[in-house]
Amino acid sequence: MPSPYRAIFAAPGAKGFSAAGLLGRMPLSMVGIGILTMITELGRSYGLAGALTATIALSAAVVGPQVSRLVDQYGQRRVLRPATLIAVTAVTGLLLAAANGWPDWMLFAFAVAAGCVPSVGSMVRARWTAIFRDTPQLHTAYSFESIVDELCFIVGPPLAATLSAGWFPEAGPLVAVVCLVAGVWWLTALRATEPEAHPRHAQSDTSSALRAPGLQVLVATFVATGAVFGSVDVATLAFAAEQGSKSTGGLLLALYAAGSCLAGIVFGVLHFKGRAEPRWLLGICAMAVSMIPLLLAGNLALLAVALFVSGLAIAPTMITTMALIEAHVPHAKLTEGMTWISTGLAVGIALGSSVTGWVVDSAGARTGYVVSLAAGTAAAAVGFAGYRRLKRPAQGEEPATDGDGDSREGRRGDRVA
C-alpha cells in the first residue's frame, strides 16, 4: 500500500515549496533562543534578553496577521519579499546594536520592527490547501507540516544556542536570518503553486478573518495553549538547572517536540469518520490532562518520560485545528486565518513564559508546572464554552447539504481531520 505521504508529493511543485518552507520557518525556532544566548554571551542580563524575545513575539503577533491579510489580497511574492527585507534589516540592526553596546531603547526599537517576519508555515499550508482542498490528501499534508514544525523545534533551538555560544554571540540569529531570506526567496520563486490572490476590490467582504465565530474560538483557545508551551519551556529549563544538569534542559524539550512529531506521523496516515470538532476538543482536553504527570515527576528521568507522553497530544490537535480553519474561514482569507492561530500561540507563549518565570523564582521549578496545568485547563474551558460556535459555517457562506443531510463543512471536516 503506497504511503499517503508519498502520494501528496506526487503533486507538481510540492517537493519544492515544502523544502523552501522548511528552510524559511527555521527562524521560528532559532531567533528567540539565539537572541537569548547572544545577549547573555555579551554579558547582558537574562531580564533584558527575555524582554527582547517577548517584544519580538508580541510584535509578530500584531503584525503577522496583517502581513498575511495582504498576502491573501495581493499574493505571496508581492508581499513576502518586502516584509522579509524589513524583518531582516531589523534583526541585523538588533545584532549591530547588541554587539556595539548601543542604548537599550534601540534594541527594543529593532525588536518591534523584527515582528514583520512572515508566517512561512501558513504560506506553505495555503499552497497545500490550494492543491488538495476538499480531498483526503489535505489531512496528510497538514500532518506533514506539523511534523516539519516539530522538526524545526527539535533542531533549531540547540543549533542556535550552539552557534552563539561556540562560534560568536551573533551567530545564531545571523544564521536564522540567512535561512529566512533563502527560504522566502525560494518559496516565492515557485509561482506555479502560489495560491490565487483575492484583491480587496473583488471581495464582497473586506473585514478581518477574525470575525468568523469559529476562528475566534480557536484563537482564544490557542492563547491558553501557547501559555502551556511557554510555561513548560521555562519550568523544564529551571527544573534541569535545579537538578544540577542545566544542559539537559534542551534535550528534555527536544523529547517534548519528538513526542509531538511521532504523533503527527501516525495521525497523518489515519482516516477518521465524523466531524472534526469533537476530535479537536478531545485533543485540547488531552493536552490539559497531560500536564498532571509533569507536576508529579521527581527527577529528570521521570520528567523526560512525562514530557514525551504529553507531547503526543500536540501535533494531532494542531492538525485538526488547521482543518477547522479551512472549514470555517472563507477561502479568500485562509492565510490570514492560519496566521491568527500563530498569533494566539505567540501571545500565549509570551504570557506563559513571563508568569512561569515569576512563579519559578518565587516557589521553585516544579511549581512552574502549576501554570502549565492552569493554562491547559483554561484552554479546555474555552474550548467547551465555544464549542457550539465551531459548528457555524464560514462567515458569508451557507452550509451546503448533500443527500444525507450532512453540511458541507461537516463533511469537509470528516475528510481532512
Full DSSP string of 253-308: HHHHHHHHHHHHHHHHH----S-HHHHHHHHHHHHHHTTHHHHH--SHHHHHHHHH
78 pLDDT exceeds 70? yes
271 pLDDT exceeds 80? no
210 pLDDT exceeds 80? no
Within 10 A of 37 (CB to CB), how many other CB atoms are there?
Answer: 24
> How many CA atoms does the CB half-sphere of 24 hold within 13 Å?
28
3-state secondary structure at position 407: strand
**Do the domains at 14-135+156-197 and 208-417 have one common CATH topology?**
yes
- The fold of 14-135+156-197 is Growth Hormone; Chain: A; (1.20.1250)
What's the pLDDT tens digit per position in 34-64?
A: 887 788 788 887 667 778 877 888 888 888 8
Q: Which pLDDT value is given to residue 248?
A: 78
Kindly report which listed range (45-54, 104-113, 179-188) carries the lowest average pLDDT score.
Answer: 45-54
Query: What type of residue sits at position 299?
Result: N
Which CATH number fits the domain 208-417, given the four candidates 3.90.1150.10, 3.90.550.10, 1.20.1250.20, 3.40.50.300? 1.20.1250.20
405 pLDDT exceeds 60? no
Instruction: Classify residue 19 by burial, with Cβ atoms within 10 Å: 0-12, 13-18, 19+.
Output: middle
Q: Which pLDDT value is given to residue 247?
A: 67
**pTM of the predicted model as reported, rounded to 2 decimal places:** 0.75
**Segment 176-197 mean pLDDT:** 93
Q: Which pLDDT value is given to residue 401?
A: 33
291 pLDDT exceeds 50? yes
Decide which of 164 and 187 is more confident. Answer: 187
Q: Which pLDDT value is given to residue 392?
A: 58
What is the residue extent of each domain of the chain?
Answer: 14-135+156-197, 208-417
DSSP 12-53: TTHHHHHHHHHHHHHHHHHHHHHHHHHHHHTT--HHHHHHHH
Q: What percent of the chain has pLDDT over 70?
A: 89
Q: Which pLDDT value is given to residue 46?
A: 63
Kindly report which listed range (91-95, 121-125, 187-191, 346-350) carries the lowest average pLDDT score.
Answer: 346-350
**Segment 347-359 mean pLDDT:** 80
User: What's the CA gap between 207 and 211, in Å, rounded?
Assistant: 7
Helix runs in 167-275, H state only: 171-189, 213-242, 248-269
pLDDT band at 289 (very low <50, low <70, confident <90, very high): very high
Q: Which pLDDT value is given to residue 394?
A: 47
pLDDT band at 395 (very low <50, low <70, confident <90, very high): very low
